[in-house]
Amino acid sequence: MTEYDYWKIFPRMPRKVTIGDITVRDGFQHLEKFISTRAKIYYAEQLIFAGCRDIEVTNLGNPYLMPQFSDAEEVLAHLRSDLFRKRCQKRGIDLDDVCITAVTIREKSVERAIELKEQGVGPDRVLMMVSTEEEHHFANSGTTLPDYWKEAERAIQKCRDAGIKMCGTVSTIWGSPIAGATELKDAVKFTKRWLEIGASDIEHADHDGSASAPEVYRYFSMILDEIPDTRLHIAHFHETKRVASASVLAALQAGIDHFEATIGGMGGQPANFLDDTPVPGTGEYYYEDPRYVGLVCLEDLLVQIDEMGIEHGYNVDRILWLGKQMERTAGHRLRSEAVVNGRTLKEGHPKFSRPGLQKRKEKLGESEGQKWPSEWADEPVLPEEHRPA
């Protein structure tokens, strides 16, 4: 007979996951309007109050290139303030349990993070990234892979000395939006190289939505066969073809227990236009339609995980509420279906019932809960030709 227990079929699949939120950084970087510092602080706070314990809040790169993050130090300073710590304590949250991350693509940004750390407002963790396909890597960083690896090694040592963790991102695992197909085995090597030079954890990124569920399962199975400590691995999926939920499921089945998402599925390549002014960003967009670019949607992901019976630590209803507020902040409809249609409720939605069912059953002489005619047997008899062999 078929095995029906999901966890016996996929014994590596976790019963508890960590879902990090990167809305305030990756989500906002793609918008072509400046999100106020007050709004950034508000959403960072509310995400933490709703259960987020791994949050990415800004980019410490050159604000000339990405002016969306010209308020990086102000956002970080608030999250380190006594005021915010007290607000957390009132809700039973120990701020020391929250990991605050800032993106630092280049060494100068890492040095800026260290300076902020020395001032008492720096991040707990920073992030550098490589792409296995060098044209994509050059578009993001402006340098070659060999040169960047040396820079990353220096930066990691500086971070260690300052007490900051460094996450190493591996991108273009399942393909590059610039050069096309890539090899999974290259990404496994890149992961090992990050760990060899001292990275604390690895973000495995599908930055352009190239991944398919079978290849996601294959890749993360390869990763966990060679590097089995799941604490080292984070799955980062973008949503361009409406198949990222399948990739999440495939990663879960392979054994991955740490994911990243954004409210409303926002995010993508940094904007090259902000408010009324062209800005450098990372150059020309490499997508056709900005409506179909972004990360896995936090609201929908949480509903998916929650309904699978997997522990996640969030207040799902609060996140759904935040998703509705974010649409007002962004100024347009975002990509969450859950904020519109809600969760699947065990008690159903009685308000949608058609009136008169009970009276109709009484008129027909049927009892409450009766499913088929009274003269039929209680158990259906399957015709022999349809029975299992």
Domain boundaries, the chain: 13-341
Nearest Cα neighbor of 206 from 252, 244, 181, 171 is 171
Could you tell me the pLDDT band of residue 145, with boundaries at 50, 70 and 90? Answer: very high
pLDDT of residue 342: 87
| Residues in a beta bridge with 170 | 130, 204
**What is the per-residue pLDDT for 257?**
98
pLDDT at res. 91: 97
d(CA 368, CA 366): 7
The percentage of the chain sitting over the pLDDT mark of 70, rounded to a whole number, equals: 100
310 pLDDT tier (thresholds 50, 70, 90): very high
Residue 291, pLDDT > 80, answer no
Q: How far apart are CA 298 and CA 152, in angstroms?
A: 30
The per-residue pLDDT for 156 is 98
Strand ranges for the chain from DSSP E: 18-21, 54-59, 99-103, 125-131, 165-171, 201-206, 233-237, 258-261, 273-274, 277-278
Q: Residue 372: in which H helix or E strand, if any? A: none
pLDDT recorded at residue 316: 97
The pLDDT of residue 34: 98
The predicted pLDDT at position 363 comes to 96
DSSP codes of every residue in 133-179: SHHHHHHHHSS-HHHHHHHHHHHHHHHHHHT-EEEEEEE-SS-BTTT
Note the pLDDT of residue 348: 84
The contacts of residue 149 (CB under 8 Å, 6+ apart) are 130, 193, 197
Give the strand pairing for 165-171 and 125-131.
parallel
| 42-71 burial: b if 16+ Cβ within 10 Å, else e | bbbbbbbbbbbbbbbbbbbbbeebbbbbeb
What is the pLDDT, as a whole number, of residue 349? 83
Instruction: Please state, in angstroms and as integers, the Cα–Cα distance from residue 299 to each residue in 15, 23, 330, 336, 341, following that order.
Output: 19, 12, 16, 6, 11
Fold of the 13-341 domain: TIM Barrel (3.20.20)
